[in-house]
A and B are shown apart, each in its own frame.
Chain A
């Protein structure tokens, strides 16, 4: 089995798919291989671009504000690298904001026709409400997760509506946490209720998952019964907001939300979810569909075989599926293989290793980490605002996102890296994981395509 492609993308999460879609749009034939889903499929339904400053102390009002601060303070943060541009660029924050902003708008446009349709942007961070009743700052929410603006004098009632047998949402606890928070901040709504529905899709009201219910609601005949039940509860509580676990559908969530809002007169929305979730399923699938619609070649279930880089160019990659091998010849490669869960980085007692090409890895302080024991990069406190250095490890790259060797030169002239495999930021602390993946993927796709079709970056 042989394949020839202009751009080969290794990895199929947010970074890989953004790179693939962009590269395909820029006229390069693009093949994307992935083995397994990972971080993007574990996301909550929010796309964070910049939620907190490194250190985790300062909550940011907008992603724009965050990128501006980060690029001024941390010159090797991936956002700063996006801001480097050419040698005569003296406005790193400006270029970084421009590039991230473009990527965000671009994604919003592409996902509009998918169930993962987005709301928001980089000019103002939204507050998504989670399954446990807390709030988190984020740049974009899936449309069906956006509760709407709360007016200052909002007299409305927020109803947390659980589903019997779906353990993700305990409406009682969530409503209590939410109410406590509202009382503390003085923000509306101040009235909160909780209730549960009994819908039993397999004939029983126990041991059900959000995915089960979402699939069930994708079938039109089930929606009618569901609307009736939600309406009854909403009326009983006089609810103006109805918070559901993320169950509105894998495909039909937008339509279902609309039907529910029309029937109840309330804002009906989904809560941000635990991984893996229905919203992340919609996001992953939405991105894949866009890639395929653009003419991209998606090869699921194939893993890049580890290989060394012998010359300054990568021309061939071997992809392995369970019982077959595909030889792929290519002109550019985008490495978006993820971090520890995605498998792009392996942390063992011997040190940190990049798994496909054996590229140099660095710590969050940009020291070579090939022989650093990962234990030394963890904090004694598991949950602390400082997070763990381990999260900041990865590849060091040049201004074109090409991984560099110990001398600081590009390891291969046609190899670009994007997403969580990059060093220099902590997604857990900064709340910027999907944002970095999107913006670097978008840019890597552009450069890889230009390199493949025009020759050179």
Chain B
């Protein structure tokens, strides 16, 4: 047999045994799992374990020492690994740098490939949308309806509408993310308002597509890589120097892709762009008085503070403290997962609810009238959960909250 035939033969055997070899970029994660010392510190901190108990979700330690160890048996773990919200708390407390959030995605990918019947049904519908439209949510059928919904939101929030710009060689590509593109359109517009206020030379994508994070989280590695490839081509064609996004998940995933796939472009969340590129002084100068004093607390998205850096929570606090008549109070659980991560809410809303319950109580305890989150997905999730508990606390995306306090252009 030639070398090629050998290779094909081995791949055939592996396929038969339902084993997918690890990708080059997954090796570091795989090796990190071997460092687990089985101490169980992560179990004390995991918000899913805290919310629903170790019987329902066996927790990060179990993922590291049991569920991730035997490739042919990954699919026997489906009822557990799909309950991880990917918040990264375990990795943050782990003394041995075990990459549990990443290994969860890898196991999910193998379940998806070999035993798709064990992937929660709801995730297959998301996958179908991703395949059909390159978006996490089905696009609006009627674009006029979409525009109407957008205008209603802008009117309610008192935000201006600036025409969309698509041009080559702009300094910044503004990438709103699927949630802001299709659903929370006010966040997309707010992002534009922020960039306009500081005369940033920016562009949007002519043809928006998802960064692929939902595909990674539900296990469709192939689609995830495909979406990332399309995006890389589009970004390359535009020739921008920076990417700015309003979504926590997109920021973290695009930062990862930019490094993994050699995009060679830095990715910023709006908060980072404001603090690091615009500067707090210039921002403070522009911030206008709102009509009434607002007491505000912040929810810190996992994808910003644990998948990137905790400095970002401080950026959020800095910005709110710079606002005239906004009073900032920190919630002692500002950094705990909203329950909306890891696609868990799609198929196990009871788990998502269990995870967020403590956060909601902490938000209520602060006594604020408004909670803001620098992520449209967290915002939507917390809003829904607070609404269900009959709370009077209002919820806003942080980019919207900032945009409302910036001067409108003539």
Contacts and interface: CB of A to CB of B under 8 A. Distances in A.
A322 B88 contact: yes
A1 B44 contact: no
Contacts of B326: none
Interface in A203-217: 204, 206-209, 211-212, 215
A35 B97 contact: yes
Contacts of B52: 202
A275 B39 contact: yes
B316 to A, nearest CB: 14
A323 B256 contact: yes
A208 B39 CA distance: 16
Interface in A297-334: 299-303, 321-324, 326
B267 to A, nearest CB: 9
Given A36-B94, A42-B39, A324-B311, A1 B276 contact: yes
A370 interface: no
A16 interface: no
Nearest to B255: A323
Contact of A302 (B54, B91, B309): B309
A177 interface: no
Nearest to A341: B95
Nearest to A298: B310
A244 to B, nearest CB: 18
Contact of A207 (B53, B93, B256): B53
Interface string B85-101: 00010011111110000
Contacts of B309: 1, 301-302, 321-324, 326
B260 to A, nearest CB: 11
Interface string B43-77: 11000011011111000000000000000000000
Contacts of A37: 41, 93, 95
A276 B272 CA distance: 36
A38 interface: yes
Interface in B284-306: 305-306
B277 to A, nearest CB: 12
A333 B149 CA distance: 55
A207 B310 contact: no
B55 A207 contact: yes
Interface string B241-267: 000000000001001100100000000
Contacts of A209: 43-44, 54
A326 B312 CA distance: 11
Contacts of B43: 209, 211
Contacts of A201: 53
B154 interface: no
Interface in A39-83: 41-42
Contact of B95 (A215, A281, A299, A343): A343
Nearest to A219: B361
B95 A36 contact: yes
B40 interface: yes
Given A276-B40, A281-B44, A301-B309, 18 more contacts: A3-B311, A36-B92, A36-B97, A37-B41, A37-B93, A42-B41, A206-B55, A276-B39, A301-B92, A301-B306, A321-B309, A321-B310, A322-B88, A322-B306, A323-B256, A323-B307, A323-B309, A326-B311
The 5 lowest CB-CB distance pairs between A and B, nearest first, are: A202-B53, A324-B309, A321-B309, A38-B95, A36-B95
